[in-house]
Structure 1
Amino acid sequence: MIRQDLKYSVGDGAAFGLMVGMGETYLPAFVLAIGLGELVSGMIGSLPLFLGGILQLISPWAIRKIGSHKNWVVACSLVQALMFVPLIFAACRGTLGTFEVVLIASLYWGTSLATGPAWNTWIGTLVPVRVRSKYFASRTRISQACVFIGFIAAGLSLQYASQQNRLLTAFAILFSVAGICRLISSYMLARQREPFPIPAGMVRRPITQTCRDLTEGPGGRLLMFLVATQAAVQMSGPYFTPFMLNNLKFSYLQFVSLIAVAFLARIFALPVWGRLAHRVGAMRLLWIGALGIAPVSLGWTFSQNYYWLMTIQLYSGAVWAAYELAFFLLLFESIPEQQRTGLLTVYNLINVTAWVCGALVGGLLLYSMNTSFNAYLILFALSGLGRFLALLLLTRIPHLVVASSEIGMRTVAVRPNGANLDAPVLPSMPDQTDEESVRNEVALTA
């Protein structure tokens, strides 16, 4: 039975990955294609994230009312799949209002973020402790491979459709396939067992208490660094798509290849960084990643030569993998395993809030400079400067020693600048604060 559950979970991860690669990743490009403009294209990849982060806060209440993590995850996944339906109709009509696209994307992200903490709790009751590390590493790679396949297939389809003057038809087809993939993912989720709908001993803390846990001690300083870095990154991050498609006039093939290079670099670099973290520690790896991502956006100001940007993207994907792995290891090291799902909910909200604040500042700057070519270059330079300034906050974090290795990841969104939205698979992380809870969980899953 366990083996069958694990196979269905891999199927869910694969179908979800295809949806990510074909669907939401291309929403900013779709917004440009229907004529909503560069600023809306940039904001559609960020503003709905904040609204989604707010909506996900109802998930603990909803889970208690439903009495099941599984049922909540399946319900949210079905709603997320349905969000592609209005996008399909919009592509067929060739028109969609700004309010409508923001609402659709917000509901998409609300249901997406709401599934994360609940799914982590549920999958933790299914996967035996002794196989978690190997299983989640394998599941992550399969899911990421499907993200890549979906992304490349969609990009090639758009390239062909643009040459045939049937771009919106291609978007309608892609959104249809993405929605079907999410429905398949929902089916795979529904086929898995739920041994413990509400696991015994599960800690339910008020959000205010979880916030205090996060902000006290080293965790608070780490979060301050996250907020500053994320805000600086997202000043420019959402606007790479309109810059490439509208200003540089890149083809969809060039656009896709630049993002694909960064994504592949992340995939291949992650296990390498995991081994390095095991030797030198997560704190040193965080410094490597933070220093590495600081100059990335500056590289776009030196030259817009396609092959130069390919090099920048390759570098960006590799250093973002180091930054993300180290940050997750350090953030969750002081939180007992049974409290981590609540922490993930709050982390999601803080992360997307910083994301949106940065995007709003960047959008205002672009608007004030009439979204000119030079405005983008200034924005990229300011984003790089902000990342360097955020390093000052990193110096205030005391050296932390944690168990460090590769962990499972869920790629929730792919972004052009390499700063993808990933979520850690919490059961793949060792419980570094409460050995007794690990022993209890082993007995639970035996």
Structure 2
Amino acid sequence: ALRNEGIVYRGVLYAGLMLTERGPQVLEFNGRFGDPETQVILPPLAGDLLPILLACLDGSLARVPLAWSPRHALCVVVAAQGYPGTYRKGMPITGLEAAAAVPANKRRRSMRYSVADGCFYASMVGFGETYFIPLLIAVGATTFQIGAFASAPQLFLAFAQFLGIALVERLRVRKRIIVGAVVVQTAILFWMFMSVAQGTSSPWLLVLFGIGYFSLNGVVLPAWNSLIGDLTTERNRGAYLGFRNGLSQLALFASMAAAGLILQWFDNAGAARTGFALILGLAVASRVGSTLALAGHFEAPYDPPRGAYFSFWSFLRRSGRSNFAHFVYFVSLMTFAVQMAAPFFTVYMLRDLGFSYMQFMIAQGVFIGSQFLAMHRWGAFADRFGNRAAMRICTAISPWIPLLWFLSTDYIYILAIQVLAGLAWAGWFLASNNFIFDAVTPPKRARCAAYFNFFNGIGFFLGAMFGAWLSARAPATLSTGALTVTFLSPLQFIFLVSSAMRFVVVFFFLPTVREVRPVGEPRFRDMFLVFRGVRPFGGVSFHPFTGVGRVESAALRDRIRGFAARNNHREPGAPQGAGPDPE
């Protein structure tokens, strides 16, 4: 019609149509994009809209290829009563926060599945990861090969973070990425189990298995941090994760103790390889349980705004004035200082002190048990006084721990050190991970978690490699003129260096990190009453006649419902997961 009237029209022509019994009927034509129809037309467009508009102006639109995503789009319109006829104007809109939140029933279910996943994952660690280094020692690995196993997989894990965040931002899903990566990780763990069972494993083959196994953790971490952040809120996140992690520590303790007993029994029978194969098989079964629990999580919608993206180079460029970047550098340097010694405590106990698998299991069990006792109290403390306050207490303790290993090789004394270490590291792990949820806004959480884990993985790699390099060059004695120290093992020198590095990192870098939530300032006595009122076995029963321990389902259900209910309640005007911009 326009052409017949000699009118050249270049622009948008929108037709409003209605399907009737007689076919489509025209309601109207508009020389603009339709509202709200455009909100479902443009999202499936693959590519940029601007070249299409420019081609429309210069008459070359026919030569511009258009590609459409197979995904579906839906727009829901909330209209005032009476629209499109006569209706009241200026009516307040309420309920937006509740509409955007994860449904309460799905939140409760996901939080229950998350507890189950944590327990199954902890069992996998207890049966598997805890005994990776003892397995290396059993197959004749050198100190350098043990250092390579502890460090090389962490380097790949660090770079895998970028693959993880790329998948999240491209696919706009998280649960499916997590489950897919975990399935592949389970297959690698099964392959590792088969190599040990068939007697074909060697130190370098185990290093390759470790690279594949831990790299998948790198793919999972950005998606998991982002998803669990959306399924919880800052109001009670610390308490819930403290509760979840406490039960996980219980599962870790039980599985690690069972694995130690299995290894000791088979080692006494001269069949240690069979023992290692059996516990790796149990680790595979635990990971299968974890996968099923992860599959039960709610796939919370993930659609970050365009402004949520910031590149790695932007992160580095702005890190001088970014509190989140200061936190990342502090934790990464602390990881470097810790990991130059951490992989070698197992070597020190089993090889240099001659511990049996039973003694090693008990020492590790004491460490894990003290973490279990403290985890819930650390969560409540962090919710009240902030994660930085918790990190401050823990970093006042952890630099002293390697020094304590010099004073005695008595077994009971070492168990006491493990108690102190477990209490300190429980707070550190909980607070340093929760700080990410508080410090960044939800749309940027996956990317920020990826950058955090990248730097942390680099710190892990460099620390373990430096420790392995140092072990081959450690002096037998250290003399300061007035004092001469003779080392029982070269590893003791590494412990000394690690302790010194921890003091340096805490002194120079902790002051650069500030708390991001409005919290109370802990009094001096609060720092020593963190563990007051600990009731670690609330909801847990042990039957003395059957020897069967279990978590009471009613207690567990009630506690999770309480966390979920409090997570669903927020102060008016406080958006879910709100937090300062990481940049």
Contact 1:210–1:342 at 8 Å: present in 2 too? no
CA deviation vs aligned residue, 1:242-297 (integer Å, no higher than 9, x gap): 11111111011111111111122222223333444456554443332112001100
Hey, what's the Cα distance between the residues in 2 that align with 1:240 and 1:135? Answer: 31
Contact 2:122–2:251 at 8 Å: present in 1 too? yes
CA deviation vs aligned residue, 1:272-329 (integer Å, no higher than 9, x gap): 3344445655444333211200110011111111111111111111122333344445
Contact 2:236–2:567 at 8 Å: present in 1 too? no
Hey, what's the Cα distance between the residues in 1 that align with 2:261 and 2:208? Answer: 28
- In structure 2, the CA distance between the partners of 1:73 and 1:238, relative to structure 1 (3 Å rule), is same
Name the structure with the higher helix share: 1
Task: Name the residue aligned to 1:367.
Answer: 472
SS of the counterpart of 1:249? Answer: coil
Deviation for aligned residue 1:33: 0.9
Hey, what's the Cα distance between the residues in 1 that align with 2:410 and 2:119? Answer: 35
Task: Name the residue aligned to 2:425.
Answer: 320
Task: Name the residue aligned to 1:199.
Answer: 303
Deviation for aligned residue 1:136: 4.0
Task: Name the residue aligned to 1:302.
Answer: 407
Hey, what's the Cα distance between the residues in 2 that align with 1:291 and 1:361? Answer: 24
Amino acid corresponding to residue 393 of structure 1 in structure 2 = F
Hey, what's the Cα distance between the residues in 1 that align with 2:466 and 2:503? Answer: 17
- In structure 2, the CA distance between the partners of 1:120 and 1:172, relative to structure 1 (3 Å rule), is same
Hey, what's the Cα distance between the residues in 1 that align with 2:430 and 2:110? Answer: 27
Task: Name the residue aligned to 2:506.
Answer: 391
Match 2:261 to one of 142, 153, 156: 156
1:266-345 equivalences under 5 Å are 266-277=371-382, 281-330=386-435, 333-345=438-450
User: How many residues of Structure 1 are paired with residues of Structure 2 in the alignment?
Assistant: 418
Amino acid corresponding to residue 242 of structure 1 in structure 2 = V
Contact 1:42–1:241 at 8 Å: present in 2 too? no
Deviation for aligned residue 1:31: 0.8
Hey, what's the Cα distance between the residues in 2 that align with 1:307 and 1:119? Answer: 39
Task: Name the residue aligned to 2:32.
Answer: none
1:131-280 equivalences under 5 Å are 135-196=240-301, 198-199=302-303, 201=305, 203-212=308-317, 215-277=320-382
- In structure 2, the CA distance between the partners of 1:280 and 1:6, relative to structure 1 (3 Å rule), is closer
SS of the counterpart of 2:201? Answer: coil
Task: Name the residue aligned to 1:358.
Answer: 463
CA deviation vs aligned residue, 1:380-435 (integer Å, no higher than 9, x gap): 111111112223313642654635699xxxxxxxxxxxxxxxxxxxx9999x9x96
Task: Name the residue aligned to 1:56.
Answer: 161
- In structure 2, the CA distance between the partners of 1:370 and 1:387, relative to structure 1 (3 Å rule), is closer
Deviation for aligned residue 1:127: 5.6
- Structure 1: runs of 5+ lacking an equivalent: 407-426, 442-446
Task: Name the residue aligned to 2:541.
Answer: none
Deviation for aligned residue 1:142: 2.6
CA deviation vs aligned residue, 1:14-69 (integer Å, no higher than 9, x gap): 22221111112211111111112233224323321121221232112233554532
Contact 2:233–2:567 at 8 Å: present in 1 too? no
Deviation for aligned residue 1:145: 1.9
Contact 2:239–2:380 at 8 Å: present in 1 too? no
Hey, what's the Cα distance between the residues in 1 that align with 2:473 and 2:516? Answer: 45
Amino acid corresponding to residue 438 of structure 1 in structure 2 = Q
Contact 1:14–1:146 at 8 Å: present in 2 too? yes
Hey, what's the Cα distance between the residues in 1 that align with 2:506 and 2:220? Answer: 32
Deviation for aligned residue 1:121: 2.9
Task: Name the residue aligned to 1:108.
Answer: 213
Match 2:122 to one of 8, 17, 24: 17
Amino acid corresponding to residue 21 of structure 1 in structure 2 = G
Contact 2:126–2:255 at 8 Å: present in 1 too? yes
Deviation for aligned residue 1:116: 2.0
Task: Name the residue aligned to 1:70.
Answer: 175
Hey, what's the Cα distance between the residues in 2 that align with 1:128 and 1:299? Answer: 39
Contact 1:144–1:267 at 8 Å: present in 2 too? yes
Hey, what's the Cα distance between the residues in 2 that align with 1:54 and 1:113? Answer: 7
Deviation for aligned residue 1:373: 4.1
SS of the counterpart of 1:94? Answer: coil
Hey, what's the Cα distance between the residues in 2 that align with 1:131 and 1:219? Answer: 21
Hey, what's the Cα distance between the residues in 2 that align with 1:217 and 1:204? Answer: 16
Contact 2:367–2:419 at 8 Å: present in 1 too? yes
RMSD: 3.3
- In structure 2, the CA distance between the partners of 1:4 and 1:330, relative to structure 1 (3 Å rule), is closer
Amino acid corresponding to residue 347 of structure 1 in structure 2 = F
Contact 2:226–2:442 at 8 Å: present in 1 too? no
Hey, what's the Cα distance between the residues in 2 that align with 1:322 and 1:92? Answer: 38
Task: Name the residue aligned to 2:491.
Answer: 376
Task: Name the residue aligned to 1:424.
Answer: none
SS of the counterpart of 2:274? Answer: helix
Contact 1:337–1:437 at 8 Å: present in 2 too? no
Hey, what's the Cα distance between the residues in 2 that align with 1:326 and 1:308? Answer: 28
Contact 2:394–2:428 at 8 Å: present in 1 too? yes
Contact 1:34–1:95 at 8 Å: present in 2 too? no
SS of the counterpart of 1:194? Answer: coil
SS of the counterpart of 2:459? Answer: helix
TM-score by length of 1: 0.83
Could you say which structure has the greater relative contact order, defined with CA pairs below 8 angstroms and 6 or more residues apart?
1
- In structure 2, the CA distance between the partners of 1:291 and 1:11, relative to structure 1 (3 Å rule), is closer
- In structure 2, the CA distance between the partners of 1:193 and 1:334, relative to structure 1 (3 Å rule), is closer
SS of the counterpart of 1:36? Answer: coil
Deviation for aligned residue 1:108: 0.9
Give the fraction of aligned pairs with identical amino acids, expressed as a percent: 25
Amino acid corresponding to residue 101 of structure 1 in structure 2 = L
Contact 2:157–2:214 at 8 Å: present in 1 too? yes
SS of the counterpart of 2:282? Answer: helix
Hey, what's the Cα distance between the residues in 1 that align with 2:513 and 2:165? Answer: 33
Task: Name the residue aligned to 1:420.
Answer: none
